[in-house]
Structure 1
């Protein structure tokens, strides 16, 4: 794949072949592959990741509803129902849909119901974190709890703790919490950066929490796009290089590339390339294989919505990095 004929493919399942098959069936209205795969899924991290990907695909159809009708006592079907209702509420909020409050209430109830019947499952709590940014005025008490450390904002810390208790440092839980912090900070991202470094500081080797600071740096870059003269320096600043190296050493070298998020791999490759650590970036591009993601590469283009431009940047970065180890 090092030659000029290499062409990346975007697929939310990444290297997870079983998930890729289930997604394909889901897109054609079939749920059996999804159901059987979830029954065989071991480990809360993989369970969370797979249900998240499936929900994003299923939210626009009634496939999960059909599954529940056929297997009304299936616990995985109940989890997927919760996932889909949450995904629909989040999308409605994002688009300003008039039914947002109704969908939000339905999703919140589904989360609580599923948490009751699946007490060991972190997904209902992860889903509650996904809904937290919909409470824009922070009216709910559970979204205004005092933080566990200094320099952190008030927020749904109790919900994060529930997810953490079931699956310590659950990747999606911490990303959902980061989204909540973003929603409350339209300006400088100091609180988001503090949260990301706090999470990474307590995470064990191999945890995706070590990649969180790279996401904050990309978000800061996205918000500051108008300051053109600062863009190139953004990635070679001492802190940026340190964050990239930390994610490489504490996450990538201890993680199984077949089980990690393609987004995390792409963010790390992007950070190392931006920091001119080309030889190390090449190792991450090897792990990415054919499964790229448009983000964060799209933010390096003049038109972030144009996937072709993002792919061009990805290919340039990959080529430069692979050449850097020759």
Structure 2
């Protein structure tokens, strides 16, 4: 596809064609495709990823409630009920909704019930990590446990350990922990940097945790927009280039990217393009195909809320990278 003909596509399923079908059916109020998809999902990592995407779509409807009414003994339906309850509580908190505390309590109870009903599943623990963001002052003891290593802050480490025990290096669990750290850091993000380096340092080759340092760099870039500095130098600094190359060689080149998170692929393409490593960036853009995500591209625009501007940056970065292939 040439630059003039290329049109990027936003879809949370990315290359996961089966998930895309289930999402489409969800949007029309049908749950059978979702149930069938989850029944044949082969591992906890993909199960976590798919239930997260499905819940984001289902949270605005009663489709999961309808599924539970039809199949009250379905564990998958119980997991999706929990996912939707957590998604609604998080959205309510983000929007300052007066029912936030009530929705939070309902979601917390759903997590505990599902964890008991499906003890091998990491998702209830991932969901409890998501809810930890709502405890802004860490009043719950489980949200201020001592960390497992130096240079790390107190936090919901027990919840992360429970998710990790069920699915080692679960991508969403570690990203939820990172969000917890963002929420408690108004400064230079040193604790978040320490966390992602610690997480990546223990992750095996091929793990998506090797991409996490790129997310913290984007967050730092976002927070520093108001400062008078040559912001593009942020991406060509030696440590930024090293993080981008590390993610390329320890994750991208060692994993099947057809079911990878579109966000991870976009962050890696963005980092390599920003580091002026256009040939490497082109390989990631080719793996992405047409699929793009608003972040991190939005933070390279004058108005991060304008999706059209973010799309322009993505298209421009892609064209420059493909033109720069060796």
TM-score category (smaller protein):
over 0.9
1:268 maps to 268
Structure 1 residues 79-98: aligned runs within 5 Å: 79-98=79-98
Instruction: Report the equivalent of 1:31.
Output: 31
Query: Does residue 229 of the first structure (1) align with residue 239 of the second (2)?
Result: no
Moved over 4 A (4+): none
d(CA) in 2 for partners of 1:67, 1:186: 42
> 1:58 and 1:187 mapped to 2: Cα distance?
35
Give 2:156's aligned residue.
156
Please tell me whether residue 105 in structure 1 is matched to residue 105 in structure 2: yes
- Provide the aligned length of Structure 1 versus Structure 2: 326
Residue-by-residue CA offset, 1:170-215 (whole Å, 9 max, x unaligned): 0000000000011110222000010011100110011010011000
- What's the counterpart of residue 206 of structure 1? 206
Matching residue of 1:194: 194
Does residue 43 of the first structure (1) align with residue 43 of the second (2)?
A: yes
Instruction: Return the alpha-carbon distance in structure 2 between the equivalents of residues 40 and 74 of structure 1.
Output: 14
Cα distance in 2, alignment partners of residues 4 and 312 from structure 1:
12
Instruction: Report how far residue 133 of structure 1 moved.
Output: 1.0
CA drift at 1:255 = 1.2
Give TM-score scaled by structure 1 length: 0.99
Q: What does residue 296 of structure 1 align with?
A: 296
Q: Specify the alignment match of 2:252 in structure 1.
A: 252
* Structure 2 stretches lacking a partner, 5+ long: none
Structure 1 CA distance for aligned equivalents of residues 70 and 79 of structure 2? 15
Deviations 1:5-48 (A, max 9, x none): 11110000000000000000000111110011111111001000
1:269-316 superposed Cα distances (whole Å, 9 cap, x missing partner): 000000011100000000000111111001000111111111110011
Tell me the C-alpha RMSD between the 2 structures: 0.8
Paired residues for 1:54-69 under 5 Å: 54-69=54-69
Partner of 2:176: 176
**TM superposition shift of 1:3:** 4.4
Provide the rounded CA distance (Å) in 1 between the counterparts of 2:147 and 2:3.
50
2: CA distance, partners of 1:257 / 1:208:
10
Measured after TM superposition, the shift of residue 106 of structure 1 is 0.4
Normalising by the residue count of structure 2, what TM-score does the alignment of the two structures yield? Answer: 0.99
Shift of 1:229: 2.4
Distance apart, 1:230 and its partner CA: 3.0
Q: Would you say 1:140 and 2:127 are equivalent positions? A: no
